[in-house]
Amino acid sequence: MSPLSGSAMARHAVEAAWTSYGRLLAILASRTSDIAAAEDALSEAFATALKTWPERGVPDNPAAWLLTAARRNVLHRLRHQEVQRGAVDALLLRVDERSDPEGWSTLDERLALLFVCAHPAIDEGIRTPLMLQTVLGLDAQRIGSAFLVAPATMGQRLVRAKAKIKADGLRFEVPDASELAVRLEDVLRSVYVAYGAGWDDLDDGRGLSEEALFLGRTLLTLLPEEPEVKGLLALMLFCEARRGARLDAQGRFVPLAEQDPGRWSSPLIIEAEVLLSEAARALRFGRFQCEAAIQSVHAQRGITGVTQHHALRTLYDLLLIHVPSMGVAVARAAALLEAGDLQGGQHALDALTAEDAHRYQPYWVTRARLYELRGAPSEQRAALRRALGLTEDPAVRSFLTDKLLALGPEA
């Protein structure tokens, strides 16, 4: 085997091992109570893997190798810090125990890491980004993009939040029932944002979405009677059921309204429907149940052949009450347009006058659809160009480019 092929195999193995990032970090951070130090140690381990695996070969258990290397980095740092010897010895013991990343003893650590990031002492606006970085390994640039915040600003906020966890000595544990409900909403939101980030990345997002689904199922095991946990998992399963239909044979993006329901996964849809029905019995309707119900309406097209636009409008009105956000407002406007309510859809879009709307790619896609339905090709062309400038996904760019070409040359 040539050195080049060995390097390629090693890079592929390191990229695959990145899906274990959250599990490895949870083990390290839960023992040191220092997220930043654990992140540094783990980053050094990944860097070492990139250097040594091409020469020595990929280990049989890459995740275990990375954990061992990261643990050594932690121990090395501890020995060189000005800390009382007894405290160092205690930390060494904690870092060294239960080191198997493949063992599901790490479930407790991952949940503990999620919930410490959602602690009331942490600023509300940084809780979800903190969970996305520590538990799922997203970098500040990707998180900043999701929250429409400059990467440098997001990075500074994340650093301050981690320092506060260490300084305040916040405990890495799943809280008891009295505190659980207070933190659960933030935890569910972070899992959903993580799934959405993987969903938006048509080429490389499956690993992240799978991690989010795993965490959703884990939370359901922890809280089997919580309706919003069931709602979140149902929502992700409805979306996951359509993953195979989102690209055509040429790898181009296919919008939901144009997808072939025959390519949707019936087992996943059935599982989602069961979860949504179980959640409804609790009579505590919430944001994630509402979003799952919207996806359920879309899924019914696979059975009836039609989309119940009136039901979608009602559900989006409810969702906007629960989540008055840019994303929901634009999605509601798109639903109004597809229902034939062009005036209502335009009014909803015109109401979004904030600067952020003009940097939000779905806003311009929806604008383009409005102009298409109104028969205004010049305006549609301009909106499509704005949308193209706000996405780097090749499948989406191909779809938008085809839309532009279909309009023909400018007059």
Q: Note the pLDDT tens digit of each residue in 196-251.
A: 887 776 555 467 788 889 889 989 988 899 999 999 999 999 999 999 999 988 88
CA distance 207 to 201: 10
Distances (CA, A) of 148 to 52, 144, 216, 305, 358: 37, 6, 25, 37, 11
Mean pLDDT of 111-123: 87
Q: Which residue has the higher pLDDT, 2 or 397?
A: 397
pLDDT value, residue 21: 81
pLDDT value, residue 107: 57
Q: Does residue 100 have a pLDDT over 70?
A: no
Q: Is there a contact between 25 and 38 (Cβ–Cβ < 8 Å)? A: yes
Identify which of 298, 304, 302 has the alpha carbon closest to the alpha carbon of residue 338: 298
- What band does 105 get if pLDDT is binned at 50, 70 and 90? very low
Amino acid, res. 22: G
- What band does 174 get if pLDDT is binned at 50, 70 and 90? confident
Q: Which residue has the higher pLDDT, 225 or 131?
A: 225
Q: Does residue 303 have a pLDDT over 60?
A: yes
Q: Which residue has the higher pLDDT, 205 or 302?
A: 302
Least confident interval from 2-16, 169-183, 187-201, 386-400: 2-16
Mean pLDDT of 301-305: 92
pLDDT value, residue 411: 63
Least confident interval from 43-47, 79-83, 327-331, 334-338: 79-83
CA distance 305 to 303: 6
pLDDT value, residue 90: 47
> How much is the pTM?
0.79
> Which of 43-57, 266-280, 318-332 is predicted most confidently?
266-280
**In degrees to the nearest 10, what's the CA dihedral of 207, 212, 216, 222?**
90
Mean pLDDT of 48-77: 88
Q: How much helix, strand and coil, in percent to the nearest 5, is found in the chain? A: 75, 0, 25
Q: Which tokens in the block code for residue 116?
A: 């410490």
Q: Is there a contact between 135 and 110 (Cβ–Cβ < 8 Å)? A: yes
Mean pLDDT of 1-23: 72
Give the residue ranges of DSSP H helices in 360-408. Answer: 361-374, 377-388, 394-406
Q: Rounded mean pLDDT of the chain? A: 85
Identify which of 363, 359, 317 has the alpha carbon closest to the alpha carbon of residue 339: 317
Q: Does residue 108 have a pLDDT over 70?
A: no
Mean pLDDT of 20-34: 79
Q: Which tokens in the block code for residue 23?
A: 């599990």
Q: Does residue 339 have a pLDDT over 80?
A: yes
Q: Which residue has the higher pLDDT, 249 or 333?
A: 333
Least confident interval from 10-24, 179-193, 299-313, 385-399: 10-24
3-state secondary structure of 253: strand
Identify which of 143, 174, 170, 175 has the alpha carbon closest to the alpha carbon of residue 158: 143
| pLDDT-above-70 percentage for the chain | 89
Q: Does residue 394 have a pLDDT over 80?
A: yes
Q: Which tokens in the block code for residue 77?
A: 């740092």
